[in-house]
Amino acid sequence: MRTLISTAFVSLDGVVEAPGGESGYRNAGWTFKDIEFLPEAFETKGREQQEAAAMMMGRVSYEAFSPVWPGMEDFADYKVMPKYVVSTSLTEDALVSNWGETTILRSLDDVAALKRTEGGPIIIHGSATLNRGLSDAGLIDRYHLLVFPLLLGAGKRLFSDADKDTQHLKLVEHEAYANGLQKNVFDVVR
């Protein structure tokens, strides 16, 4: 059984929208505005690349990352690993050719079937809608959260507001940094 790991930059009030500056959100680029960059706070991002065996994302994140990440040295390890895009609308001809093997999954059932295969962890980047659906379906096994000391108000949230049973998490790693960022790694308790 494979492990699904959700990794996210998240504001203290749960917003994950446009952390890197994607257009269309009034607070776009919030991860680097007025917050001192400390390399040690982002160490976990390099470690994620080393530990992941594959990457998953939704269509919107794929369309944002695929034109940029294949050429970025910071994300070189992701270039060679298999990628899975969960989308009902993305077509094969829309996939980029310079980012390695990419498979389109059409449903959460397809994700559940992928989880049942042999292989290493699958890291989920961005993908607010996908994260909410996977969480509500009980498919996420671990959260890697880099929490920013910001309250952004409106914006896409990491977690849904679905009326569901309590889901318990176990804190397995944490650290606070001088710039106010907090790393929190949680395993989902089953």
36-49 pLDDT tens trace? 999 999 999 989 99
Q: Please list, residue by residue across 16-27, b when 16 or more beta carbons sit within 10 angstroms of its beta carbon and e when fewer do.
A: bbbbeeeeebeb
68-85 pLDDT tens trace? 999 998 888 899 999 999
Residue 21 has a pLDDT of 84
Total-model pTM: 0.94
Can you tell me whether residue 33 is helix, strand or coil?
coil
> CB under 8 Å to 123, separation ≥6 — which residues?
5, 7, 48, 51, 52, 54, 55, 56
Higher pLDDT pick, 114 / 24:
114
Determine contact, residues 83/110, Cβ cutoff 8 Å.
no
4-14 pLDDT tens trace? 999 999 999 99
Confidence of residue 23 (pLDDT cuts 50, 70, 90): confident
Mean pLDDT of the chain: 95
Which pair of tokens denotes residue 119? 């292989």
DSSP state of 3: P
